Structure 1
Amino acid sequence: MKRLALLLGGPLLTTEALKERLSGYRLLAADSGARHALALGLPLELWLGDFDSSPPWLREALPAPKETLPREKDQTDGEALVRRALELGAEEALLLGALGGRLDHTLAHLELAFHLAERGVRVELTDGLTQAFPLLLGPHAFPLAKGRSFSLLPFPEATLALEGARWNLPPTPLKATTLTLENQALGPIRVWVEGGRAVLYLF
């Protein structure tokens, strides 16, 4: 399986567990997301962007093949990186630094995650502490530990059903709701997306 880790500009908690997990992943970075490669101590295969948010010291400290994009463009550096991942035939994508920080960037990263998922790529977003998974139509199973906290969010609206949680849910049309926030797994959970799309957020 072709596994790519895409380093984006949001915050990232770098842990030994994350470093171990990245074994077998190819690392690509968008602009300031490359700083995470330094913190992880792992080599970059590609560093792409207009470099408007990468300070000179970072460009000097990090040896990596660079691809410079124009500053005047109709896509973000993160979007350009996602498109490159698809060109490289990604089958699994781990978006690091994709959550937290600026809200507009987080929402954009979620949209990019759906773009990948719609093309058959298995996608996870993380800040090193929390995780998010885009959910398209159909059933989804997650082997969560008992007591794991999660929220199930329509994005922006969906018909959802849930089993295996403290608060299960029959098929229910949802949008802009707090009904599915702060749930707990009793073990593995099962989610059905019967309309629209959703996000599973683990914290």
Structure 2
Amino acid sequence: MKRFALLLGGPLLATEALKERLKGYRLLAADSGGRHALALGLVPELWLGDFDSSPPWLQEALPAPKEVLPREKDLTDGEALLRKALEMGAEEVLLLGALGGRLDHTLAHLALAFALAEQGLRVVLSDGLAWAYPLLPGTHTFPLASKTPFSLLPHLEATLEVEGARWNLPLTPLRATTLTLENEALGPIRVEVASGRALLYVFGA
């Protein structure tokens, strides 16, 4: 499987655990996402963007091959980088720096993630601490450690079932609810999406 990690411009906690997780992934960066590469001590194989968010010191400090885009365009540097990863044959994508920061960008990243999942790609979004998994209809299992906190959100509505949690959920239609926030895994969990779409949000895993 061709696995890519994309460094985007949102907040990212550059931990040793994240650095370890990136082994086996091809690393690409979008504009100011290059600062995360420095924090991780890694050099992306491609650094793409219009570089309006990357100060001169960052461009001097990061020795990565650049692809410069025009400032006036119909997509963000992050989406352009995602398209580049797909052209390179990506089958699994980690969108790092995709959560938090600007809400408009976070919502756009989630929409892109669901669109990719519908194309058959495995997609995960993270800020280095929390991990978000877009879920389509079907059965999904996650090997979570005991006491791992998580939330499960309908997006925007879904019929969901959860097993293996402190608060299991029988098959239930949900929309616009906080019922499935702040749960806790007892170990591996199983999520059934009978209809609609959902987002699994795991903290610290």
TM-score by length of 2: 0.95
Q: 8 Å contact 1:4–1:85 — kept in the other structure?
A: yes
Give the deviation of 1:115 after TM superposition. 2.2
Report the secondary structure of 1:104's partner residue: helix
Task: State the alpha-carbon separation in 2 of the partners of residues 20 and 144 from structure 1.
Answer: 18
Which residue in the other structure is 1:107 paired with? 107
Shift of 1:116: 2.1
The amino acid that maps onto 2:14 is T
* Paired residue type of 1:10: G
Q: How does 1:163-202 map to 2 (within 5 A)?
A: 163-202=163-202
2:53 counterpart SS class: coil
**Residue 25 of structure 1 aligns with which residue?**
25
Between the aligned partners of 2:71 and 2:53, the Cα distance in structure 1 is 11
Q: Normalising by structure 1, report the TM-score.
A: 0.96
After superposition, residues 68-79 of structure 1 pair within 5 angstroms as 68-79=68-79
**What is the distance in 2 between the residues matched to 1:95 and 1:109?**
8
Cα distance in 1 for partners of 2:11, 2:65 equals 23
Q: What does residue range 124-139 of structure 1 map to in structure 2 within 5 Å?
A: 124-139=124-139
Letter in 2 for 1:112: L
**Alignment size in residue pairs:** 203
Mapping for residues 34-53 of structure 1, pairs under 5 Å: 34-53=34-53
> d(CA) in 1 for partners of 2:75 and 2:174?
31
Q: Deviation of residue 83 (structure 1)?
A: 1.1
1:54-78, CA deviations, whole angstroms, 9 ceiling, x for partnerless residues?
1111111111111112222111111
SS at match of 1:197: strand
Q: Distance in 2 between matches of 1:118 and 1:48?
A: 25
Counterpart of 1:194, as a letter, is A
Aligned-pair CA distance for 1:175: 1.3
Query: After superposition, what is the alpha-carbon deviation per residue over 1:89-119, rounded to whole angstroms, capped at 9, x for unaligned?
Result: 1121111111111111111111121122122
Does the 8 A contact of 1:160 with 1:191 survive in 2? Answer: yes
Runs of 4+ in 1 over 6 A off after TM superposition: none
Letter in structure 1 aligned against 2:195: G
Is 1:11 the counterpart of 2:11 in the alignment? yes
Secondary structure at the aligned position of 2:80 is classed as helix
What SS class does the counterpart of residue 32 from structure 1 fall into? helix
Identity value in percent:
80
Instruction: Please give the per-residue CA displacement for 1:26-76, whole angstroms capped at 9, x wherever unaligned.
Output: 110111011111111111111111111111111111111111122221111
Per the alignment, in what secondary structure is the counterpart of residue 27 of structure 2?
Answer: strand
Alpha-carbon shift at residue 192 of structure 1 (Å)? 1.0
In structure 1, the partner of 2:155 is 155
Aligned counterparts of 1:158 and 1:129: Cα–Cα separation in 2:
26
1: CA distance, partners of 2:118 / 2:82: 13
Query: Residues of 1 paired with 2:154 and 2:34: CA distance?
Result: 31
